[in-house]
Amino acid sequence: MTLAIGDGANDVNMILQAHVGVGIAGKEGQQAARSADYSIGEFKSLKPLMFIHGREAYRRNAMLIAYAFYKNILYVVPQYYFGFNSAFSGQPLYESFIYQLYNITMTSLPIMYYALFDWEYLKPEFMSKPKLYHIGMNNECWSNTIFVKWLFYALIHGFLLYFICIISVVGERQYESDGKEIGFWIAGHTVYGGAVFVANLVILHQFNNFTGYGEALVALMCLAFFVFLGLESSLGYAIGQGAGWFADVNHIARHMFSMFTIWAAFVLMCGSVSAGELCMRAWKKVIGRLNESDQRGSYAAFVDEDHPKSI
């Protein structure tokens, strides 16, 4: 990958041919700046552009892409698992209208906040520790292996959602407080709600800065599930002799949120995912410290070999 830097009209072809072009707007005109991917006012801004903003843009965008695949697979794959119980009849697990709201109203803002405002370290640390820049050269944030890991991550979480909601908690032989059996749509929307909570919980665990804004957005997205399901459920009444707008989910919110088993399912799903996330983060820290110790040991051995102590 090549980086081209120029400040004049004679540098335009070079900037256009490079993978990344940086133009400097100065006394020689604006041609280079207008043709470049990035424009700066002075040469001294190049170092922060590369070692701070470039490094963090790579890390954030890699997470944005991986998470976008993850959260969409997460809420789609339970429907595939459901096919084994429904003889692949094509019966959807979620109501069609709320199904369309998942990406727009329930999982969009936290990842946008992460991709724009998350910083892994304080800005002075990026300039004082060149080794932090190695993540791009070593493909530590994006590779085929990392993409496959996120794919399996979504498949495992999707199975966990389906197992807890359909089979264990709100599956067969489970009843409402009035003795009636739990309906199909209640079970399906419990899975849907679990997907919303888990998707937001996963990105919350990826945050490096806890300022309150990201946490508030996560809470807002989780609250959106209750709001939209409640609105859809309340609009599911019959209009005259008609079938109603959302007749399939007519008043299911009232039954769902009054049942202990539903809340137990949500708590069990979120608790399981949080425990896994915390264990993975702790494991990464242990591996990171071991690698640092090995690097320091290798450096010490190198110094001792070249500069032996006198006897």
Residues paired with 5 in a beta bridge: 22
Average pLDDT over residues 200-215: 92
The CA angle 186-188-191, to the nearest 5 degrees, is 110
CA dihedral 92, 94, 98, 102 (to 10 degrees): -100
> No. of H helices and E strands in the chain?
13, 3
At residue 265, the pLDDT reads 86
Residue 202: the pLDDT is 94
Determine the Cα–Cα distance for residues 157 and 16; give it in Å rounded to an integer: 43
Residue 191 has pLDDT above 50, yes or no: yes
How high does pLDDT run on average in the chain? 83
**Cβ–Cβ under 8 Å, residues 22 and 38:** yes
pLDDT confidence tier of residue 195, bands split at 50, 70 and 90: very high
- CB of 236 closer than 8 Å to CB of 246: yes
Lowest mean pLDDT segment, chosen from 27-31, 57-61, 229-233: 27-31
- The H or E element that residue 80 is part of is helix 55-85
Q: Is the pLDDT of residue 39 over 80?
A: yes
Which of 9-13, 111-115, 189-193, 230-234 comes out lowest in average pLDDT? 230-234
Only one residue has tokens 């001294």, namely 44
- Model pLDDT for residues 114-161, shown as the tens digit of each residue: 999 999 988 889 888 888 888 888 888 999 999 999 999 999 999 998
**What percent of the chain has a predicted confidence (pLDDT) above 70?**
84
pLDDT band for position 163 (cuts 50, 70, 90): confident
Q: Tell me the C-alpha to C-alpha distance, in Å, between residue 193 and each of 88, 161, 203.
A: 23, 10, 16
**Cα-trace Rg, the chain:** 26
- pLDDT computed for residue 169 by the predictor: 64
Label residue 242 by pLDDT band (50, 70, 90). very low
Separation between Cα atoms, residue 91 and residue 248, nearest integer Å? 13
Q: Would the pLDDT of 304 be above 60?
A: no
Task: Give the pLDDT confidence score for residue 63 in this predicted structure.
Answer: 95
- Coil/strand/helix, residue 194: helix
The confidence band for 311, taking pLDDT boundaries of 50, 70 and 90, is very low
Pairwise pLDDT comparison (246 vs 81), residue with the higher score: 81
Reported as a single tens digit per residue, the pLDDT across 94-120 is 888 888 999 999 999 999 999 999 999
229 token code pair: 């399901």
Q: Answer yes or no: is pLDDT of 234 > 50.
A: yes
Indicate if the pLDDT at residue 173 is higher than 60.
Answer: no
| Better-scored residue on pLDDT, 286 or 172 | 286
**Paired tokens of 36:** 């470049």
Q: 246-268 pLDDT, tens per residue?
A: 767 777 888 788 888 888 889 98
In this structure, the chain runs to a length of: 311
Q: What is the mean pLDDT of residues 61-87?
A: 91
What secondary structure letter does DSSP report for 131? Answer: G
If you write DSSP's letter for every residue of 220-289 in order, what string do you get? Answer: HHHHHHHHHHHHHHHT-S--TTS--SSGGGTTHHHHHTT-HHHHHHHHHHHHHHHHHHHHHHHHHHHHHH
Instruction: Supply the pTM of this predicted model.
Output: 0.83
pLDDT of residue 107: 94
In this structure, the dihedral spanned by the alpha carbons of residues 172, 163, 264 and 181, taken in order and rounded to 10 degrees, is: -20
How far apart are alpha carbons 254 and 258 in whole angstroms? 6
pLDDT at position 306:
47
Q: What is the mean pLDDT of residues 56-72?
A: 94
Q: What is the pLDDT of residue 247?
A: 67
